[in-house]
Structures are given as structure tokens and as C-alpha cells.
Structure 1
Amino acid sequence: MKASHFLVASAAIALAACQPSSGQETAEAGAQPMHSEGYALAQAACAGCHSIEPMGLSPNPQAPEFPVIANTPGLTRETLTNWLIEAHNYPEQMDFYLEQDEAEMLVVYMLTLQSEDFHPPY
């Protein structure tokens, strides 16, 4: 086999390995944009005060870390969405409003931070 044919064959094998092989992987990929948009929104609107990453402390010590919020006992998609939509529940420092779709994107991202073995960073 010529070297150029070997390179082409190797590239084809590598590309094939990156393709989803099941419907579940495809479904997970479909959820990815919402997760990514939620992360981007969190970076833009929340990261000035909150730690939005799986690990780390918030820049504002009074602002709970997103993983702490996400792992609050009893927290559900519905309770978090309702809290984010009800702007009158926000502390005074969080003087902004989220549209329904923005809240949903944020919730999708925040729920990815849930973990059965979560321990607060402090």
C-alpha cells in the first residue's frame, strides 16, 4: 500500500470512529446545544458572582456555587425553573429578568452539575 493510500485509509477510519453508533448518542447530541447555550448564558449573566463550573468557589462569597444549588436536596427541574422565572425571589443584587427559554437553558445546564456523591467545596 502506498503511503498516500495509507494516510487516506487512516483518516477514514479515524473519522468513522467519531460518528455516533446508536440512537442514544444521537439523542444526547441533540440535548448538547441547550446545555451549551445554558453554559454560555451562565457565563455571561451569572459568573460575575457565582461559580458556574463543577468545582470552584464563587467570586462573591454570598453567591452560592451552581453545583451547590443544583445539588440542593429536593431540587427539581420544576422548582429551579420556577425560582428562576419568579424574579421577585431574587436577592436585590440579582436585579435582572430571565425569559422562559433563558431560564430553561440555564436549568438544563445547572442540572448537569448534579452528582450523587456531591460534597460542597467548603
Structure 2
Amino acid sequence: MKSSIASVILLAALAACQTVEPEPVAAADPEDRALAQAACGSCHSVEPYGLSPNPDAPEWPAIANRRGLTRETLTTWLVSAHNYPSEMDFYLEDDEVEQLVDYMLTLRREDYHPPY
């Protein structure tokens, strides 16, 4: 009996030491992720965790978890206001916008905290 209790305590202690990353809201499509990396990854971190290569470019999880962000506001921004700064002045096809929005929304987390 004592060894069973000791085993349970040991397992509980080990479990408490493990770090588990939260799951995304929805599974990311590999093609959407690849487009995000190709189109935006040279400046932004497009991964669930990590810092952007360009310190002036916000990490995508920081954008995805902003209060008030919706599919519609993100789509509008990518279509209408995607020309500032000048490094972001490039054209996106409608299906590319949809892919980027779909991927970015997979980066939402209920327990999100900015890395800084």
C-alpha cells in the first residue's frame, strides 16, 4: 500500500514538472502554413511560439490574439490596408488572403500571453 501511494505521489510530481503547449483552436492546414511562411515569415514569426526575425514585425500569435480581431477585420486589413510599411506592399489573391486568415486564426489560444 505504501509503495502504491509513493508511486502516485511520484507520478503526480513528475506530471507537475512537464510543460504542455496548448493546442491550437483548429488544426492548421500545411498549405496555409507554408504560404504564411513563404509570404510573411522573413519578417514575422508565423509559428505558434517564437519571436519574429524582424523585431519591428509583430508575431502572428500576438496579432491573432488581439481583442476584437475577427475573420472579417483581418480579411479587410489584408485586402485593404496591406501596404504599410513598404515591405508589406505586395498583392494577395483572394484565395491567399483566405488561406492566411485561416492559418492565423489557428494561432488563437484562450491562455495566450504575449512573449514580452
The interval holding the TM-score normalised by the smaller chain is 0.7 to 0.9
Match of 2:73 among 72, 79, 82: 79
* Structure 1 match to 2:62: 68
CA distance in 2, matches of 1:41, 1:88: 16
| Gap change, CA 1:43 and 1:119, over 3 Å in 2 | same
Aligned-pair Cα RMSD in Å: 1.8
Corresponding position: 1:106 with 2:103: no
Q: Based on CA coordinates, which of the two structures has the bigger radius of gyration?
A: 1
Deviation at 1:35, TM superposition (A): 2.4
Structure 2: gaps of 5 or more residues = 1-25
CA distance in 2, matches of 1:105, 1:45: 11
Deviation at 1:36, TM superposition (A): 2.0
CA distance in 2, matches of 1:100, 1:91: 21
| Gap change, CA 1:49 and 1:88, over 3 Å in 2 | closer
Is 2:64–2:105's contact at 8 Å kept on the other side of the alignment?
A: yes
Corresponding position: 1:35 with 2:35: no
Deviation at 1:87, TM superposition (A): 4.5
* Structure 1 match to 2:49: 55
| Gap change, CA 1:88 and 1:65, over 3 Å in 2 | closer
Is 2:82–2:89's contact at 8 Å kept on the other side of the alignment?
A: no
Is 1:83–1:89's contact at 8 Å kept on the other side of the alignment?
A: no
Deviation at 1:89, TM superposition (A): 4.6
Give the TM-score normalised by the residue count of structure 2.
0.72
The structure richer in helix per residue is 1
CA distance in 2, matches of 1:88, 1:49: 14
Alignment of structure 1 residues 83-102 onto 2, 5 Å: 83-87=77-81, 89-102=83-96
